[in-house]
């Protein structure tokens, strides 16, 4: 990174943290044990001053000379060393991450990063499930390797459990440059910062997919790609017709038995048909809340909810806050 102000801010955010003090202050819930040691629920995204950040895509910096216990998130996390290297630890293996390497960890997957030294900069990119639409994912046609990680961005909390992907920067020298751009956009904080970060991440995912596609795979590629294409077409149909689509209509459109289609969606995405529709409706509603002055009741009807009270309930279930609070925190 060439911007010295941003670099200075990153080093400030990487100052050491005392886990014992943080544990007393934040009182995280224990979620289980890994190798006889507890792991914790880290479900809030925080900034460098430990304030809660409501953004769908958040960046945080690994504190140096600090012990961070095993933990899980209810979102997907990408860990990237910007300066130096680090060791990421999962229940079944330890991964050496060199500068520019990426580790994508699905939600509810226990992990940690071993203590890093002064001068090391390790960034975590934390991605909530509503950050990307199905139309975004249509840019990524390959249905192997990254699919489980990408769909974990949109799936139920349990879907990402145990899932991760490790990618070496030596296989694509452009990806570290894109990560640098993401960091700059995020910390510059312009009006279009969130949108630019999202587009940059999509480019990263696309390049990683191309990287995966070049690896040998024992699975029948033609059969798998055909199934993937059908699934993506179904998801795109839901995205375009979210306000009115029914399972019966969707099944008829693609010549599926409704029960079979329901099982296929659950198996491939980790979500039921109803959850997929709710997620798309809320995703669109969130954009209306940010970019328009329409009333919440009008937005509820526009995305397919005749009962505003039910819309409020679904919105809170998915994004963790009311539509009015979401608008207040994010409206441009």
303-316 pLDDT, tens per residue? 999 999 999 999 99
| Phi, psi angles (nearest 5°) of residue 127 | -120, 115
Pick the CATH number of 275-330 from 1.10.10.60, 3.30.470.20, 3.30.360.10, 3.40.640.10: 1.10.10.60
Q: At what angle do helices 193-213 and 174-188 cross, to 10 degrees?
A: 160
- Domain boundaries of the chain, sorted by first residue: 4-213, 221-270, 275-330
Other beta carbons within 10 angstroms of residue 262's beta carbon come to 17
CATH of domain 4-213: 2.60.120.280
**pLDDT at site 69:** 93
Dihedral of CA 265/269/272/275: which sign? negative
pLDDT tens column, 253-277: 887 888 888 888 887 777 889 999 9
Tokens of 196: 């630019």
Q: How high is the mean pLDDT of the chain?
A: 82
- Report the Cα 2 to chain-centroid distance in Å: 27
pLDDT tens column, 26-68: 888 998 998 888 999 888 877 766 677 778 899 999 999 998 9
Nearest to 137 by CA among 89, 209, 76: 209
pLDDT tens column, 121-176: 999 999 987 788 766 765 554 444 445 455 555 544 555 566 788 888 887 889 99
169: three-class secondary structure by DSSP? helix
Give the number of C-alpha atoms closer than 13 A to the C-alpha of residue 78, restricted to the C-beta side. 28
What band does 86 get if pLDDT is binned at 50, 70 and 90? Answer: very high
pLDDT of residue 214 exceeding 60: no
**Separation of alpha carbons 224 and 153, rounded Å:** 21
Least confident of 124-133, 153-162, 178-187, 199-208: 153-162
């Amino acid at each position: 990174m060439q911007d010295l102000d941003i670099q200075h801010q990153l080093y400030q955010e990487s100052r050491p943290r005392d886990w014992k003090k943080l544990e007393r202050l934040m009182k995280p819930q224990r979620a289980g044990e890994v190798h006889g040691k507890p792991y914790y629920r880290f479900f809030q995204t925080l900034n460098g001053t430990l304030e809660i950040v409501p953004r769908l895509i958040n960046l945080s910096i690994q504190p140096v000379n600090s012990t961070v216990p095993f933990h899980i998130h209810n979102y997907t996390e990408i860990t990237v060393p910007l300066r130096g290297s680090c060791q990421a630890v999962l229940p079944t293996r330890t991964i050496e991450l060199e500068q520019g390497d990426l580790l994508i960890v699905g939600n509810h997957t226990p992990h940690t990063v071993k203590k890093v030294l002064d001068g090391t900069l390790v960034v975590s990119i934390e991605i909530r499930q509503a950050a990307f639409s199905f139309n975004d994912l249509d840019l990524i046609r390959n249905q192997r390797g990254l699919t489980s990680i990408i769909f974990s961005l949109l799936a139920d909390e349990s879907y990402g459990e145990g899932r991760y992907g490790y990618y070496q920067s030596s296989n694509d020298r452009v990806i570290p440059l894109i990560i640098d751009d993401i960091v700059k956009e995020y910390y510059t904080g312009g009006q279009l910062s969130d949108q630019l970060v999202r587009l940059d991440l999509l480019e990263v995912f696309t390049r990683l997919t191309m990287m995966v596609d070049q690896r040998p795979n024992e699975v029948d590629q033609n059969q798998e790609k055909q199934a993937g294409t059908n699934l993506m077409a179904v998801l795109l149909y839901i995205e375009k017709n979210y306000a009115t689509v029914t399972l019966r209509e969707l099944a008829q459109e693609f010549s599926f038995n409704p029960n079979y289609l329901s099982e296929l969606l659950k198996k491939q995405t980790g979500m039921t048909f109803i959850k997929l529709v709710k997620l798309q409706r809320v995703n669109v509603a969130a954009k209306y809340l940010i970019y328009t002055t329409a009333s919440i009741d009008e937005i509820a009807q526009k995305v397919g909810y005749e009962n505003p009270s039910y819309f409020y309930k679904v919105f809170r279930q998915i994004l963790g806050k009311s539509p009015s609070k979401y608008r207040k925190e994010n409206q441009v």
